[in-house]
Amino acid sequence: MAVVLPVAPLAVYLFLFLWSAVPFAPAEPVLLAGGAVAGAGGLFLPLAIAATTLGSLASDLAKYALGRSAGTALLGRISRLRTGARAVRWLEARILASGPMVIAPSYFVPCGVVVATILCGALRLRLRAVVLASAVGALIWSTVFLGLGYLGATVTGNPWFGLALAVPAALVIGLLAKRRVTRQCACEPENHEEPCPLAV
């Protein structure tokens, strides 16, 4: 079932870029839908991946800049919630140990990339390293979620069925990421002082 878009494909690529660039916006459902449209022939998948990667990178740099200017206040607000406080402590320890590359896997942890990029700004980490880590994470994240929608539409031959198939697959990926991080926490000796933010 081929999709006929009501607007030019360029407008859809621009929408994917802009939506991914909005800080704190939940972009995964939009990526799954975009992938499903691409799987039905409405978009060129590599261009969709490029648009969302660049948008997400722009969002990360905005949160990094926010962290540099108001990181302490923002992290204080996040830390008012018990889960938020755990996330801040847990990610801060890993950023101090491993640097900005923690950003890449944090894309698959709920709110992880938000905390990680703000922390990188608050800790005044080098912009070049943050850009590299964010670019890697954004590319992997975009490819995974757009790819799920694309695969679903390709397998079912229908973008709506493809989206319905991709959503539970995305939820499974999120649960697996959460389980992996939780298991990693359980294996680390410091987890008694700094509880895993996902082990709630």
Nearest-angstrom CA–CA distance, 40 and 99: 40
Please give the helix or strand (H or E) that residue 85 lies within, else none.
helix 82-98
Nearest-angstrom CA–CA distance, 57 and 100: 14
Per-residue pLDDT of 55-113, as tens digits, reads 999 999 999 999 888 877 777 776 676 656 666 776 777 787 778 888 888 888 777 78
Residue 107 confidence (pLDDT):
86
Q: Is the pLDDT score of 45 beyond 80?
A: yes
Residue 163 confidence (pLDDT):
65
Tell me if 185 is assigned to some domain.
Answer: yes
Residue 185 confidence (pLDDT):
46
Backbone angles phi, psi at 195, to 5 degrees: -60, 150
Rounded average pLDDT over 34-44: 90
Tell me if 1 is assigned to some domain.
Answer: no
Q: Who wins on pLDDT, 134 or 191? A: 134
Tell me if 151 is assigned to some domain.
Answer: yes
Tell me if 199 is assigned to some domain.
Answer: no
Domains: count for the chain: 1
Residue 73 confidence (pLDDT):
74
Tell me if 198 is assigned to some domain.
Answer: no
Q: What is the pTM of this model?
A: 0.78
Per-residue pLDDT of 138-184, as tens digits, reads 999 999 999 998 998 888 777 666 666 666 666 666 666 556 555 54
Residue 192 confidence (pLDDT):
43
Residue 190 confidence (pLDDT):
47
Q: Who wins on pLDDT, 1 or 20? A: 20
Backbone angles phi, psi at 190, to 5 degrees: -80, 0
Residue with token string 């081929």:
2
Tell me if 40 is assigned to some domain.
Answer: yes
Tell me if 113 is assigned to some domain.
Answer: yes
The confidence band for 195, taking pLDDT boundaries of 50, 70 and 90, is very low
Q: Is 7 left (phi over 0), alpha (psi -120 to 50) or beta?
A: beta
What domain range is 29 assigned to? Answer: 9-192
Residue 200 confidence (pLDDT):
32
Q: Who wins on pLDDT, 5 or 11? A: 11
Q: Is the pLDDT score of 37 beyond 70?
A: yes
Residue 133 confidence (pLDDT):
94
Residue 128 confidence (pLDDT):
93
Residue 189 confidence (pLDDT):
46
Q: Which residues of 92-120 are buried (b: 16+ CB within 10 A; e: fewer)?
A: bebbeeebbbbbbbbbbbeebbbbbbbbb
